[in-house]
Structure 1
Amino acid sequence: MKTLLAIDTTTEACSVAIASEGVIFEKFEIAPRLHGELILQMVDDLLQQAKLQLRDIDEFIVNCGPGAFTGIRVGISVVQGLAYAVCKPVIPVNSLQVLANGVQLSLKDTVIEGTHIAVAMDARLNEVYWQCFSIKNDFPVEETTAMVSAVEKVEVPDYGLNAKTCCAGTGWSAYAEKFQQRFNCHFSVNSNCLYPRASWAISLANVQSITAVEAELIMPVYLRDKVAKTTKERNQLR
């Protein structure tokens, strides 16, 4: 069984997890704009807790986005540095799929075969990163591609949003009124499924058997090429 170390800094949350001999060690903290200050100490603390050295890690895992631009860059640069130091490969994961996998792990009693999961992460500027999944063989399978769009342009498959649809991510609460108007329904988001976690990334990598690559090949997934809009673009959103 491989020893894995995962890092997720794509949102306001800062998360590190280690899987060693079937045991998960994890640190998770909501710390906006403090990822750079916290992440390495969290890694050191978990290595001590798991009684491991960095060289004992077989593969690293990093959430490459989408999410906060700065957070994505922090996570990737830290993982690349750690992986380079011990000459180990890195597994890239996607934040939307990590969140969907988190729903499946957190709500095992209610998430069954065929359950639909709608993930929407707040992308600011009246936009969300979003994607829809369904559970098949205890795994979230993509039903739509990962996209960033205005709330008013979010589309879900033909089943729509209903009581059997699990919603995850910060986007649903950030734009709750607009989503309710958009889909003409009320919905709820489990408080445990707002932010992606490093432990969920480990589970995703294990189940999906994602191929590890050399650290230098890890690339960020932004979906959006800029965060600042012109005055004209901002006025068009009003």
Structure 2
Amino acid sequence: MTTLLALDTSSDNCSVALWRDGEVIDRRAHVPRGHTHYLMPMIDEVLAHAGVAMAELDALAYGHGPGSFTGVRIAAGVAQGLAWGCDRPLLGISTLRALALAALRDDGAERVLAALDARLGELYVALYGAAENGPEALLAPCVTAPEALVLTPAETSITMVGSGVALFDRLPADIARQVTQRHEARAPQAADMVRLAAADFAAGIATTPLEAVPVYLRDRVAHQKPA
């Protein structure tokens, strides 16, 4: 029996999920700037509900980004501390990949443009297609201005998900024409991350707690006024 715990604080949502041999138990809440207050109680609640102790976990997973710079640091730091304390490996899960998994499952999407508002007029974005083991990256996660996005031409329709949908009107016309569904309110969730983590763990993809690294995609965190 494989038991995994995943947590995510990359957006205004805070979520925690437990995977136990295919069953997923999760908790989530919309708590802008409240992650540090809610995260540990949510972890305790999920473990208590499942009757699972930290020592019974096989590994922990966390939303490694992209997303809120502060949020991804919180998730990485908490996951690292917990994994270190119970001597378990870690799995960093892309927030964009988690968004894609939900769209492939819930919307019957063939291709998913997972996009998060990166501020400064840019997007964190990746394109995914359906594969046997979950979302397959057709365009690797990157940060870009919407109008500079380039995708390989295809006839397949695209489902666009995430807060980056707010910048849809700035996409190149050829890409916008392919987008047949848009879901701006979607945010990454630990419940999807723990499913991806289960597949990665089974494939032997994991790191040590020391290797917990947030994925920012860029280093610039604030607008710089011209000198």
Pick the aligned partner of 1:167 from 135, 160, 184: 160
Mark the CA change 1:184 to 1:27 in structure 2 (over 3 Å): closer, same or farther: closer
For 2:226, the aligned partner's letter is K
RMSD of aligned alpha carbons: 2.1
SS at match of 1:64: strand
For 1:214, the aligned partner's letter is T
Quick one: distance in 2 between partners of 1:137 and 1:147? 24
2:199 alignment counterpart: 207
1:195 alignment counterpart: 187
Quick one: distance in 1 between partners of 2:44 and 2:132? 36
The TM-score with structure 1 as length reference comes to 0.86
| Offset of residue 190 of structure 1 | 3.5
Pick the aligned partner of 2:144 from 121, 142, 149: 149
The TM-score with structure 2 as length reference comes to 0.90
Q: Please list the CA deviations of residues 21-71 of structure 1 after superposition, one character each: whole Å capped at 9, or x if unmatched.
A: 432110111211111111000001111110111111111001111111000
Contact residue 19 and residue 198 of structure 2 kept, 8 A: no
1:11 alignment counterpart: 11
Higher strand share: 2
- Report whether the alignment pairs 1:38 with 2:33: no
| Offset of residue 93 of structure 1 | 1.2
Quick one: distance in 2 between partners of 1:45 and 1:2? 19
Quick one: distance in 1 between partners of 2:226 and 2:151? 29
Quick one: distance in 1 between partners of 2:187 and 2:204? 21
Q: Please list the CA deviations of residues 158-186 of structure 1 after superposition, one character each: whole Å capped at 9, or x if unmatched.
A: 127x6x211111101x2133237674536
SS at match of 1:98: helix
Quick one: distance in 2 between partners of 1:210 and 1:199? 20
| Offset of residue 138 of structure 1 | 5.7
Contact residue 152 and residue 182 of structure 1 kept, 8 A: no
For 1:166, the aligned partner's letter is T
SS at match of 1:145: strand
Mark the CA change 1:184 to 1:69 in structure 2 (over 3 Å): closer, same or farther: closer
Quick one: distance in 1 between partners of 2:133 and 2:57? 27
Percent of pairs with identical residues: 28
For 1:171, the aligned partner's letter is G
- Report whether the alignment pairs 1:226 with 2:220: yes
SS at match of 1:140: strand
1:236 alignment counterpart: none
Instruction: Provide the aligned length of Structure 1 versus Structure 2.
Output: 224
1:120 alignment counterpart: 115
Gaps of 5+ in 2: none
Contact residue 10 and residue 72 of structure 1 kept, 8 A: yes
For 2:148, the aligned partner's letter is K
| Offset of residue 187 of structure 1 | 4.3
Contact residue 18 and residue 26 of structure 1 kept, 8 A: yes
Decide which moves more: 148-157 or 32-41.
148-157
Pick the aligned partner of 2:132 from 137, 140, 144: 137
